[in-house]
Amino acid sequence: MRKILGIIGGGQLGMMMTEAAKKMPEHIKKIIVLDPTENCPAFKVGAEQIIADFKDEKSIQELAEKSDIITYEIESGNSDVLKSVEDKAEINPSPETLKTIQDKFLQKTFLYENKIPVTEFIQITSIEDLQYGLTKFGYPALLKVRRDAYDGRGNLKINSSEDVQKAFNHFKVKNLMLEKFVQFKMEVSVIAARNTKGQIKTYPLVENIHENNILRETIAPARVTKEISNKAEKIAQTTMTVLKGAGVFGIEMFVSADDEILINEIAPRVHNSGHHTLQSSETTQFEQHLRAILGLELGSVKLIHPTVMFNVLGSKDFEGEYKPIKISEQNVYLKMYGKKISKPLRKLGHINLVAEKGESIKDLLKKLVLLKDKVRITALN
Ligand code: ATP
Ligand code: MG
């Protein structure tokens, strides 16, 4: 039966899911997104839209009534409301999985209890907890908001005992956690998929470079030894086995100074570090996600072409309409998300630099240096 797909969130991830869904007309007949921004990116590529806040109960109910199957592009949805509409539509990843993942403390506790390596962490509800944690972990340590954080906005590094009171007062919310700081060599991630029948596949390990806490570049495959990529892949497989949800998950990891792999966090959704799959892989992460939640056989995760993905971000110094950018170079794929307004460091698009025969990651990175100028965002007027 052809399904109506509901997506909570119609930003770039919802947009690329919509595009993938449109290529599967034999399985999906319509896409409806719930998003507060009028003409959101997913709407622009052909999804219907319910204009409302992601957490608005009535609108989630409306979406469930109109859809056969619901998924999401953000982890901050209201898992209790989602749970209450499970009789109207199938929701994947499941509200229980979402509930565990969307709270960073519950998520790390879950991983720890399943013997999956993570850095040390404790829950923080008082300044005494914080002082205790800092004595235990030492400096620097990272204070994190447990919920609704993204692009590092809910993180604060505490460098010395003088910062403690200020750090505790920094966040308005008080559901916090403290993590021991990982002196990592590299950040990596695995895009993993699990379908409703339990089939699991993991994409090859990729390397992520962050700037100002925002993902800037992904290098596929990661420049690590076979031992490290095997270790990371094994951890991703174990994680997917214990994590019960269906869908694509972005598993962010650290490679520590002594080559240990620690999971930083899991996103219960398609992930920015999987955008390279649009050109690099046999199956894109967006199609894979849909295959997973539809209960179809998962597609091949083979990386065909080494690829470097570079995020096109809003310039730090301005907010407003911006000049369109154009790239007409071979093997460089620009994807803009149709956002009218640029804001500092807002994700506006990305480019994938795909290796031609014989080209190495090193060659792609050289090419990227020249391209960075061409994708700089400037004011329209
Ligand atoms: P995003 O939306 O990018 O996933 P987020 O707001 O959920 O970010 P985290 O993923 O927790 O935040 O952290 C953002 C970045 O901060 C990480 O990619 C990493 O560079 C750094 N970071 C997080 N936790 C630690 C840690 N324990 N030790 C060292 N660095 C860390
Ligand atoms: Mg993260």
pLDDT at position 244: 85
Task: Please indicate whether residue 155, judged by its CB atom, sits closer than 6 Å to ligand 1.
Answer: yes
**Whether the Cβ atoms of residue 287 and residue 299 lie closer than 8 Å to each other:** yes
Token pair listed for 324 = 């369109």
Write the pLDDT tens digit of every residue in 241-255.
999 889 999 999 999
Write the pLDDT tens digit of every residue in 325-359.
999 999 999 999 999 999 999 999 999 999 988 89
- Pocket test of ligand 1: the residue of 106, 158, 213 to mutate, having most ligand atoms within 8 Å of its CB, is 213
> Measured between alpha carbons, how far is residue 42 from residues 37, 47, 169, 202 in Å?
10, 6, 38, 26
pLDDT at position 150: 79
The CATH number linked to 174 is 3.30.1490.20
- Pocket test of ligand 1: the residue of 104, 134, 147, 155 to mutate, having most ligand atoms within 8 Å of its CB, is 155
Looking at the CA of 147, which ligand is closest?
Answer: 1
Nearest CA to ligand 1 atom 24: 264
- Pocket test of ligand 1: the residue of 158, 264, 269 to mutate, having most ligand atoms within 8 Å of its CB, is 264
Q: Is residue 100 part of a domain?
A: no
Q: Is residue 271 part of a domain?
A: yes
Q: Is residue 132 part of a domain?
A: yes
Nearest CA to ligand 1 atom 12: 152
The verdict on 233 and 364 lying in the same domain is yes
Task: Please indicate whether residue 178, judged by its CB atom, sits closer than 6 Å to ligand 1.
Answer: no
Q: Which residues surround ligand 2, an ion (CB under 5 A)?
A: 252, 265
pLDDT at position 77: 83
**Whether the Cβ atoms of residue 98 and residue 268 lie closer than 8 Å to each other:** yes
Token pair listed for 53 = 């806040």
pLDDT at position 189: 98
Among residues 365, 357, 373, the alpha carbon closest in space to that of 219 is found at 365
Looking at the CA of 255, which ligand is closest?
Answer: 1
> What is the number of structural domains in the chain?
3
Task: Please indicate whether residue 19, judged by its CB atom, sits closer than 6 Å to ligand 1.
Answer: no
- Residues in the chain predicted with pLDDT less than 50, given as ranges, are none
CA–CA gap between residue 152 and residue 145 (Å, rounded): 10
pLDDT at position 76: 84
The CATH number linked to 61 is 3.40.50.20
CA–CA gap between residue 268 and residue 250 (Å, rounded): 7
Nearest CA to ligand 1 atom 27: 181
pLDDT at position 381: 82
Q: Is residue 342 part of a domain?
A: yes
**Helix/strand/coil for 205:** coil
Atom of ligand 1 nearest to the CA of 182: 28
The verdict on 268 and 328 lying in the same domain is yes
Task: Please indicate whether residue 151, judged by its CB atom, sits closer than 6 Å to ligand 1.
Answer: yes
Distance 153 CA to ligand 1 centre (A): 9
Nearest CA to ligand 1 atom 17: 213
Domain of residue 163 covers 120-180
The CATH number linked to 312 is 3.30.470.20
